[in-house]
Amino acid sequence: MMRTLALLFLLALSAPVLAQEMTLPDPVQEQRARDLSREIRCVVCQSQSIADSDADIAKELRVLIREQIAAGKSDDEIRHYLVARYGDFVLFKPPFKASTFVLWVGPFVILVLAGIGVAIYLRRRAPDESRPADLSSDERGRVARILNEEDSAQ
């Protein structure tokens, strides 16, 4: 019992904790800092945000974001500051501009092209000849007679 409790306790301690190196006293500002940190890519572990990453530079950027918020900078100003130094890649949501146009619009363009391709293919196909038209009553009579003749011929 005690062993399990101890192990569970240790497990709880090992859960990743948001670094407490510097939290802002104003809870609104602190929340802004956390939200902003989640939008910024860690340049070392590139699939993590700086909020989640243990890298030194991630910690530095978390502190820097808090300093700038405390100094009265807006979220956009802080994003600009980071992009000026690290490039658009540092934002998880790349801005929509000329150089990222292909990135944003590309998938939709491919979807539309594929759709056009399918439509052309369907239009170009010859009308459905695999299924013959229904027989008229005359033709059905003819078929019956032919079959009867064949039966009697055998």
Partner 1 sequence: MRRLLFLLPIVIVAALVAAFWAGLDSTRDKSALPSALIGKPAPIAGLPGLMEGAPPLDLAAYKGQLIAVNFFASWCVPCRAEHQYLRLLTDQYKIPVIGIAWKDKQADARAFIAELGNPYHAIAEDERGRTGIDFGITGVPETFLIDGDGIVRYRFAGPITEPVLTGQVGPAIRALQP
Residue ranges in contact with partner 1 by CB under 8 A: 43-44, 46, 55-57, 60-61, 64, 83-87, 89, 117, 120-121, 124
State which residue, 87 or 141, has the beta carbon closest to partner 1.
Answer: 87
| Of residues 100 and 148, the one with the C-beta less far from partner 1 | 100
Q: For the CB of residue 100, give the shortest distance to partner 1 in the complex, in Å.
A: 14
Nearest residue (CB) to partner 1, 3 versus 93: 93
* Secondary structure string (H, E, C) spanning 51-112: CCCCCHHHHHHHHHHHHHHHCCCCHHHHHHHHHHHHCHHHECCCCCCHHHHHHHHHHHHHHH
SS3 for 44?
coil
CB of 37 to partner 1, least distance (A): 15
CB of 143 to partner 1, least distance (A): 37
Which CB atom, from 85 or from 140, has the smaller least distance to partner 1?
Answer: 85
Minimum gap (Å) between residue 35 Cβ and partner 1:
20
| Residue 133 structure tokens | 């038209």
Contact 88, 94 (CB under 8 A): yes
Structure tokens at 153: 């011929």
Report residue 68 as tokens.
């700038």
